[in-house]
Structures are given as structure tokens and as C-alpha cells.
Amino acid sequence: MEKIFKFIGCTNSQKVNYAAYMFEGPAEIWWKSQENLLLEGRGDNAHINWAEFLKKFYDQYFTERFRDKQTTNFDGLVQGSMGVAQYEAKFTKLSRFAPHLVSIEALRVKKFRNGLEFKIRQHLTTSRVDDYKSLVVLAKAVEEDL
């Protein structure tokens, strides 16, 4: 949904409204009660911001234990027997739970590079790639050459 929100240029309150609209069944019931609690005492024109919404959503549907486990998995993630594309997909998926480990581009690049298989990483040591997207493309090319 974040991808769609970015594409159509949603405001934070629109993001909350659109995301909540997608809820069905128990999630919809849960959100109505959370929304009432969050808006209580704020006045008639109050809005819930996207950060508040995400925090409540993650607290409800991704337990702290689950998030901690995913952070640990991300922290120890290495390419191993995966192809670069598989490694990159797993890297992206798990990084959501450990944004502090990849909070700036340089950290993201370093973490990804350090997790690459040695033979691929060795070929990248002389490259001065400092953006994540370019590093992934280059790592895939090296993998194909090997």
C-alpha cells in the first residue's frame, strides 16, 4: 500500500483512511475501536497520523517477539546458497523490521555488501558503488559472470 500511496501522493490522513478502508472482518472491528480510542478528546476535526496508525497496526499484528526475531534474522542475514536476487528480496523483507540497521544509504549498502557470498563480495571490493540499487545490479552482474 505504501507504494500506491507514494504513487498517488497521499497525505498522511488519506493513507490512514485508505488503509483502514481495506480492513475486513476482525481487522475492521479492531480498527474501529482503536480509531475511537485515538481520537477521543481530540475534537471533531482531529486526524490520526500515519505514524500512529502504523504503530498500532504493527503492535496488533506483529508482536514484539516476532519483530525481535525478524530483527535478529536480518542482523545475521547472509547470502549463503541463495542467488543475489533471492538474497536481495529477503534483505528487503527483513529490513522493514530493523530500520535502525539501514537508516541511511551507506549503512544499507554496507550491510548488503557484507552479507554477499565471498566470491561476489571479492569482485566488488574495488568498486566504489555507494548506492543500494547500483550495488544490487552490480552484484547480480558479477553473479552471472561467475
pTM of the full structure: 0.71
The pLDDT tens digits of the residues spanning 12-50 come to 889 999 999 999 999 999 999 999 998 988 877 788 989
43 or 85, which is more confident: 85
What spatial distance separates the first Cα and last Cα of the chain, rounded to whole Å? 37
How far apart are alpha carbons 126 and 103 in whole angstroms?
Answer: 24
- Please determine, for residue 64, whether its predicted confidence score (pLDDT) is greater than 90: no
Express as a percent the part of the chain with pLDDT over 90: 75
- Please determine, for residue 125, whether its predicted confidence score (pLDDT) is greater than 90: no
How far apart are alpha carbons 106 and 103 in whole angstroms?
Answer: 9
